[in-house]
Every structure is written in C-alpha cells, then in structure tokens.
Structure 1
Amino acid sequence: MIRQSNYTELKNAQIAIENLHATKPSIYKKFINIVKLTRQLHCGYQYMGTVIMDENTSDFYPKSLDDYVMSVYHREIEKLKTDEKFSELKQVLKKYKQVTYVNISKLALGENPKELVGPILIH
C-alpha cells in the first residue's frame, strides 16, 4: 500500500510528538524505547503502530521472528499500554495515523519532516 504525506501533516505530527515529550516525558520515553526495539528487531513501524492501537496486524506481521521474540516484543508493548499516560500517546497516534506509523516513528527518532515528504510504501 502506498501512502503520501505532505509537509504540513508531517510538521504537525512532529509538533505533537515534541509536545508529548515536553508534557508527558515518561510515556514519550517508553514510546521511544518501543520504537527503538522495533527497529532493532526489524518488526516494522507499521506493525508496531497497529499493535499499539489494537488494529488488524495481519498485513504487517513480521514473518521472520520466532514466537519467543514476538512474545517478548508484545510484552514490552503491553507495558507501554498499561501506563497511566498511555491515552496521551494514543491520541497522538490516532490523530496523525494518516501520516503513517512509519513516519511518526521516524519523526519521534528525530528525522526532519522535509525528508519524509512524498509517497511511502507500507508493508
């Protein structure tokens, strides 16, 4: 599936992520840790987002990881979801879903929104 984000959408998402960092640093830090874990395990940011948001993951499920690794990954995401400030993160993810979880993750890691403008293949 191909999605395209424009600069304004990406910039607004970046501002929302920065605001989350400034106002709710504990949930932001947990989110960044999940993003980094996702990158290390090659699970895919879109998969991560669908798991966090309780959406259908079948299109994005990483096929190369064994059951144990996936259980550890899901356990870490559940820790994030049980945080009392999780609803703040969930609001940001829901509001900027059209930007894609891939781009939201990259913005959270500090990528420049200008570099993310244009079409992106989501798989």
Structure 2
Amino acid sequence: MGKLKMIGMVSVMMASLFFSSSNALAVQHYTISTNSGVPLNMRSGPGTNYPIMLSIPSGSSVPYYCYARGTTVTGKYGTSNIWDQIQWEDSRGVMNIGYVSDTYVYTGSDGPVGVRCD
C-alpha cells in the first residue's frame, strides 16, 4: 500500500473517532425559571455566600457543565444544596461561567444530572 494512501486512511479513521466521540462530550442545555419571572443571580461559587456575577432572565436556556454541593436553597423546583455550573454571556458579550441553584433549573430530576465539578 502506498504511503499517501496509508496516510489518507489513518486521517479518515482519526476523524471518524473524533466525530463519534464528540457526541459524548455534548453539553446539555436546561431552562432557568423563577417563580415570579425575575432574573436569577449567577454566582462565582456554589452558594449564596459567593459574589453575584450577573443576572440571567427567567426562561433562558443555559449550557450545563457540572454540579457542586453548596448552600441549601428553596426555589421553584424544591429545596436542594445542588448548584449547577453554567455559562452565560453578559451585556458586554463576555462569556461567564458560574453557578446557579439547581432549584431554579429545570433538569427533570431532583438530584444531580451530570458530573461533579472538580
């Protein structure tokens, strides 16, 4: 088999591995929802003692990355100490990663839905 043909086959095999495995790394999106429709505060860590980074409008779909345990909060979807790490673009167009209480994120579960944050 020629060297060029071998390189082509290896390239195709590596590309197929990349594309088939990238589906496993897909980020889930969930909806933020508050009882009153007011925006939800995104914090720098998993708890109400962490600084507020920005506010996210109720009804927004956000990418979910992982969860952490923190302050217990009662919200629209119950009471929990689970905080979800999410991403949101601020008014300047800067992408921010922070935490919101799982009690305001419709995940369809009362428990963690992803991996634990490191």
TM over 0.5: no
More relative contact order, 1 or 2 (CA 8 Å, 6+ apart): 1
Structure 1-normalised TM-score? 0.26
Could you say which structure has the higher helix fraction?
A: 1
Could you say which structure has the higher strand fraction?
A: 2
